[in-house]
Structure formats: C-alpha cells, structure tokens
Amino acid sequence: MPVVYALLFFLWVGLVWVEFVFVVPFAVPVALVVATGAGIGRFFLVTWRTLTATGLEGPSAVPRPAADAADPAYPQYLLDQVWRDVRTLTRRTIPWCLAEARRAVTTLTARMLRLPQGLAVFPIWLALCAGILLAALPLAVAALAFAVVTVAVAGAGLVAWSVCVLVLGTVERLWAAYRRILLACPHPGCYERLALPAYACPNCHARHRHLVPNRLGAFRHVCRCGARLPTTILLGRFRLSAYCPHCGRPLPARIGRARVEPLPFVGGPAAGKTTLMFLAVRALRAGTDAAGGRAEFVEARDARGYADALAELGAGGRLAKTGPELPAAMMLDVTLPAGHRILYLFDPAGELHTGATRVERLRYLDHGEALLFVIDPFALPELRPALSREERLLVEATATSEEDPADTLQRLLADLRSRDDQGRHRRIAVVVTKADVLRRTSIGRGVEEDARGWLEGVGLGNTIRTLERTAGQVRYLASGLDTPPAALADLFGWAAGLPLDGRERTPADSPRREPDPPRREPDSPRREPDSPRREANFPGGEADSARREADSPGREIDDRAGAEGRVPWRAPGRPERLVPLGYQLGRGVLLTALVVLGPAALLLLGLTGYTRFR
C-alpha cells in the first residue's frame, strides 16, 4: 500500500510539474488577454451607450436648466457635461471589472479546487487567477491612455472655445464702441442705462439675462426648451424680443444694433413742448423719406397719439395738457442709408421742471448727449410789459407759461452737473415756440432771422451763454405752427445725430455757436394766418395716413418686424426631451477620439514601457 501512495504521489508531482512547465505559461497570458479584453470591451460598450444617447435621461443624465434661473440655458458641453460623462464611464466600467474579476476567481475556485480534482488542476487555477489579477496592470495603462485622450480632446476643445468667446466678445465690444451704442430703458420709473437687455426665447419665452459669448456657449446658447439663441448682435441677437433687466418691460426692436438717442424736451408748463414734439416728428418723418430712409413708431400707442395730435392741430385745436406722471418715451426707429437711431422722445409735464427734487426724478437726462430747451417767449418777464393792448389780447388767446425759462434752465443745469461729465452735452437745441404769434407783435420782429440775437435782446444773454458753455454745440430756432418742416427736420435731425444729408454727423460739421436758424426752403414762403391756432401747415391726409399706420396689424413692441427688414428670430433646435445638438456633437467627437486615438495611445504607452524596462 505505501508503494501505491508513493506512485500516486510521484504521478501528482509529475502532473503538477507538467502543468507548471507546459500549461501555466500559456494559461497566464490567455487569462490576461481575456480579462484585459473583457475590461476594454466593457469600456467601449459603456462608452458607446453613453455617448450615443440622445435623450436627457440616458446613461449619463443631462440636467435640464431651472426655469427660474437667470439664464435658463445649458452650459457649454466641455465645461460641465463632459465630466459627468467621464464619471459615468468610470463608474460603469471599474466597478464592473472588479466585480467580474471577483466573480471569475470565486467561480474558478469553487469549480477547480474541489477535492480530489483540485490537487491536479491547482497550477491551472493559479495561472488563471494570476492572469486575471495581472490584467489590472494593462487595464490601468488603458485607463491612463483613455484619460489622456479625453483630457487632450477636452483641452483642445476648451482652447478653441475660449478663443471663439474672446474673439466674438471683443468684436462685439469694438463694434458697439465704433457705433457708439447706448442702451437705456424708456419706461417711467426706471430709465436705467443698460449693459445688456434680457432676451426672451421665441419658443418658451424664458428670459436670458446674459446672452453673450460665455460659459453657456460661444455662438449659441441653448435654451431649456431646446431653442438655439444667437449670442451677439452680429449673429442676429437683435432679432429677439428684448426686455429691461431692471423693470422687466419690453424694449424696442433692434436695440443694441442701433444707438438709443434720448431726446428730452425741457421747458416750463405750457411752453409748447408737446406741440413742438409732434411737429418735429412730422418733419423728421418727411426728412427721412426724402433721404431714402424711414422712421417708424415702435409702439402702436405712439402712432395713434401722433395721428390724433395731427388731426387736432390740423383742425385748429389745442393739444391736451401733459399729465403730471413721469413720461414714457415716444419711440421712433429711424433707418437711413448712412445711419440708424432709436429715438426716445421724452415730453414731461412742465411742472416736473419746476422743482429740484422733481428734476432729479427725470433720470433719462443722465444718458443722452442732446436735449431740446423749449422757451415760451411770453413767459419772459421783459416781454409782457412791452406788449400793446391789442398784442396782449392776441397773446391771451394763446396758452402761455408762467415759468421763467431762466429758472427752468438753472434747475436743469444744477442737476446735470452731478453727472460724471458735469452735464456737458454734445448738442443743445434752443427752440423759441409760438413764433407764429410772436412775430405779429412789435417786439417779436426779427426772431425768425436771428433767434439767438433776439433772446439776448430780451434779457436771456446770461442764460444762452451758460448753455453754450455747457454744450459742445448749440443751435437756435424760432418755431410755430407754420414753420416749414424742412427747418424743423434739419434742427431735429442735428440734435438726434441723424445724417439726413446722407452722411454721419460729427462735431466738426458745424461750429460751436450757430446763432442763425436753418434757412427756409425757397418754395415755402412765410404764411400769415388770420388766426395762429387755426391755420397750421398740415397736409390734409397725413393724420389719416398716420392713423392707418397705427391701426395696422403687427405694430406692437413684442412682435413688430422692425426697420431694416428685421425678421423675428426663428429658433432652430432639438426637442426639449433630447440633449442639445452641441452636446451630441461633443459626445461624437469624444467617442471618435476614444475609439481611434485610445488604442493608439495605449500602443504608444505599451511600447514606451517595453522599451524602458526591456
């Protein structure tokens, strides 16, 4: 019996020796290759499922932006989601590899080490287990290679994205500086100067407060609803509906593309500011048509008010007194071959200029570089005593102001001096109103030929010299109901910086002082109406034309197709249940890089390690 045991022992030793010599050298690499291939195969399978998913709720979920966020848009893929995808690949690969290795070793142990067969196949079990465990080394190298590829792709993408953001932002800032773009709110109680409006998504109407090249995208931001929105004016951002970020009320179309030009009318109560404004708008619209452009009302409300005012003035009536509330701007979108402007015309009640605290509430005065100072000649203390009895009866038929224009100006200048530029305007237009009545008095002779000289002669010399020290340029005009529109259009266009002559105006285009009013057109002789409030120089059908324009569809501020053929932005994009197109493209690039460059990087690392340790 001992001989049998000895024979069996030697047979077992021989078998084990044969397995160690002939089987183990092959079993270890086979197990190593199979385990490594299984790990890499699992990685590519997870990568394919993760990076080809198109739904938000895929293997690597894409969080949808909150509806109440300041910018309800998806972040740029390489800044946020790519790292979520990488974490998903890691969490779905490494734990699986560990679990499968543990399961393989456990299964091999349970099946191969059962006695008595375990005594015979122990070397094979050991070789297979060693191959499985040794697979951790090439898998770690593979993980390093894939990590290098991922970081390289993300880094290159981030560099390209950063360059795009920098270039687009710089181009827009330079363009805005060259065009001298000013943004401001026209609504009463706000009047804030804006760095950037809030833009509404045309699909879901969510408002985006930072629609510029930034971490949410360079060329486009993707709204939570899937709409793709342009990030710069040059890319079409002006075609979106804009809102004031402070008060939330709508802003005119094309804001940001065309300069906002606030034009406040400053004067005492009943000085004729409202009448002058409508006459100036009428003249400006005619002037822009003659120059090959157009001037459109931004809001239907303004167009209706303009039509009603023309009808009232054409019938010889008086316009209603402006209410005491803070004024909302009448907005005109002006397009000319050589320039564009969005005009904010502010016509406040004269009472708002009769107290320092009231003037401080007119914050729109802080933004503009031009204003129109309206002087009622019959409010001058030196004028009324010089009128004859008949002239006083004539003046009494006209609504006049009780506020001394010099007092109004002093309060205005005191408020403007608190500005950073000390209230220095580029352009101030001084308009003497009610000239059609004034020239019928003896003291009013010569006012239309030399308005500045006439004002100096009636005691306003110090006032006009103060104005000329405050402004870069000052112009003067005597205006009445029968003033030729060409004269008003020239003055109003100059104050607004509009190139009605076909070229942009610059400060060098005219001297600092311009006492002479614009010349009358030869075919527009002065009219001498019997009653200055009955015969106004209005074409018969202009009020009807303005009313038809006001009542035409599509004139509201939110959906108006503005000047220059502005077409509202049509927001292309994927359905909101799908990931943004940029995410899909980014995932596609990453998948391609991992499939193509990953094995190449793995081979390179393997050759490097082999060369070093050979």
Q: Average pLDDT of 401-428?
A: 75
Q: Note whether residue 241 is domain-resident.
A: no
Residue 406 belongs to a domain: yes
pLDDT at 610: 58
Q: What is the pLDDT of residues 287-302, one digit of tens each?
A: 888 888 888 898 888 8
Mean pLDDT of 439-447: 85
**Pick from 126-135, 172-181, 414-423, 516-525: least confident:** 516-525
Half-sphere exposure of 161 (CA within 13 A, CB side): 20
Q: Do residues 344 and 484 share a domain?
A: yes
pLDDT of residue 508: 40
Convert the pLDDT of each residue in 523-568 to its tens digit: 333 333 333 443 455 555 565 666 665 555 444 444 444 444 457 7
pLDDT tens for each residue of 59-70: 999 999 998 888
Please check whether residue 208 is in contact with residue 72, taking contact to mean a CB–CB distance below 8 angstroms: yes
pLDDT of residue 546: 61
What is the predicted pLDDT for the residue at 439? Answer: 85
461 and 528, same domain (yes or no)? yes
Q: Which of 40-54, 305-319, 359-373 tops mean pLDDT?
A: 40-54
Looking at the domain assignment, is residue 191 inside a domain?
Answer: no
Q: 604 near 151, Cβ under 8 Å?
A: no
Structural domain of residue 441, as residue ranges?
258-533
pLDDT at 612 over 70: no
Q: What's the total number of domains in the chain?
A: 2
Task: Single out the residue in 533, 563, 590 at which a domain terminates.
Answer: 533
In 3D, which of 119, 149, 102 has the Cα closest to residue 16? 119
CATH number at residue 341: 3.40.50.300
For the chain, give the mean pLDDT. Answer: 82
**307 in a domain, yes or no?**
yes
Identify residue 465 by its one-letter amino acid code. R
> Mean of the pLDDT values across residues 117-134?
88
Task: Compute the chain's Rg from CA coordinates.
Answer: 40
Identify the pLDDT of residue 502.
43
Q: Clarify whether residues 452 and 584 are in a common domain.
A: no
How does pLDDT run across 565-599, given as a tens digit for each residue?
457 788 776 788 889 989 999 999 999 999 988 88
Pairing, β 228-230 against β 294-297: unpaired
Same domain, 509 and 402: yes
Q: What is the pLDDT of residues 324-336, one digit of tens each?
A: 778 888 999 998 8
**308 shares its domain with 426:** yes
493 near 500, Cβ under 8 Å? yes
Helix (H) or strand (E) holding 259: strand 259-266
Looking at the fold, whether 476 and 396 belong to one and the same domain comes out as yes
pTM of the model: 0.79
Q: State the pLDDT at residue 466.
A: 83
d(CA 359, CA 369): 17
Give me the mean pLDDT over the 20-39 stretch: 90
Angular region, 565: left φ>0, alpha ψ -120 to 50, beta rest: left
pLDDT tens digits along 144-196 = 889 999 999 999 999 999 999 999 999 999 999 888 888 999 998 888 889 99
Can you give the pLDDT at residue 518?
Answer: 39
Residues 510, 595: one domain? Answer: no
pLDDT at residue number 355:
56
Pair 439, 290 in one domain = yes
Residue 277 lies in a domain: yes
Is the pLDDT at 506 greater than 70, yes or no? no
Out of 533, 562, 592, a domain closes at: 533
In a domain, 67, yes or no: yes
Examine residue 606 and state whether it is found in any structural domain, yes or no. yes
Q: Assess if residue 86 is contained within a domain.
A: yes
584 and 517 within one domain? no
Instruction: Decide which of 518, 533, 548 is a domain's last residue.
Output: 533
Tens of pLDDT, residues 345-363: 998 876 666 655 556 677 7
State whether 10 and 95 are in the same domain: yes
- What is the Cα 383 distance to its own chain's centre? 51
Look at residue 566 in the predicted model and tell me its pLDDT. Answer: 57
Confidence check: pLDDT of 254 > 70: yes
- Are 485 and 286 a contacting pair, CB within 8 Å? yes
Residue entry with tokens 């009472």: 351
Please report, for residues 272, 378, 402, 460, 479, the alpha-carbon distance to residue 395 in angstroms, rounded to integers and kept in the order given: 14, 8, 13, 20, 16
Q: Give pLDDT, residue 170.
A: 95
**Segments of 461-577 assigned E as strands:** 471-478, 513-514
Mean pLDDT across the stretch 335-346?
86
Both tokens of 70, joined, read 């300041």
Please indicate, yes or no, whether residues 599 and 520 belong to a single structural domain of this protein.
no
Query: Above 60 in pLDDT, residue 199?
Result: yes
Both 591 and 503 in one domain: the answer is: no
Question: Which residues touch 337 (CB under 8 Å, ≥6 apart)?
Answer: 291, 292, 293, 502
> φ, ψ for residue 534 (rounded to 5)?
-110, -40
